Amino acid sequence: MRRLKRLFKQAKDAGSNENFLTSLHRLEGFVAKVLSVAMVVVILVSLFDLALFLSEELFSEPYGFFTTSLIEIFGLFLNILIALEILENITAYLRKHVVQVELVVATSLVAVARKIIILDLDKTTGLQLIGLAVSVFALSVSYWIIRHTTRPSA
């Protein structure tokens, strides 16, 4: 009879809010770690791809010159920088278990800047340019607000 009571108590305790939240916390940590490992793989593959691309460009005719536009090469570099920023977001979450909005907005600004840098004006409509301008403005204002509200008072 005691065993049955103890079994019911364990089942009841397993369903408690505290145990449930602990399980969710562990699951979040596990998912963040898997995302970190996946992002490291993405960064390494992207870095390898960039190295191959640069070596092909430098060692093909005409030697020492880029046959591809530098804008495409800058886009590849910025892709890796954005991936590094995302990895930083994930590791910051693992450390503090809080999404750091300032990092997310800064990463978004880098991503929009990348889009602007590699923009092909021949294929871009005026409405798309307006959308990019509004995005940059909104993200910049957001970043400014975040920086000024979280800055320690001196």
Q: What is the pLDDT of residue 70?
A: 77
Please indicate, yes or no, whether the overall pTM of this predicted structure exceeds 0.85: no
Give the domain extent around 59: 2-150
Q: How far apart are CA 6 and CA 130, in angstroms?
A: 66
Please enumerate in sequence order all residues whose Cβ is within 8 A of that of 86, keeping only pairs 6 or more positions apart, or say none.
Answer: 39, 107
Q: Phi-psi region for residue 153, left (φ > 0), alpha (ψ -120 to 50) or beta?
A: beta
Q: Could you give the number of structural domains in the chain?
A: 1
Write the pLDDT tens digit of every residue in 124-149: 899 999 999 999 999 999 999 999 99
Q: How far apart are CA 125 and CA 128, in angstroms?
A: 5
Largest CA distance in the chain: 87
Identify the three-state secondary structure at position 107.
Answer: helix
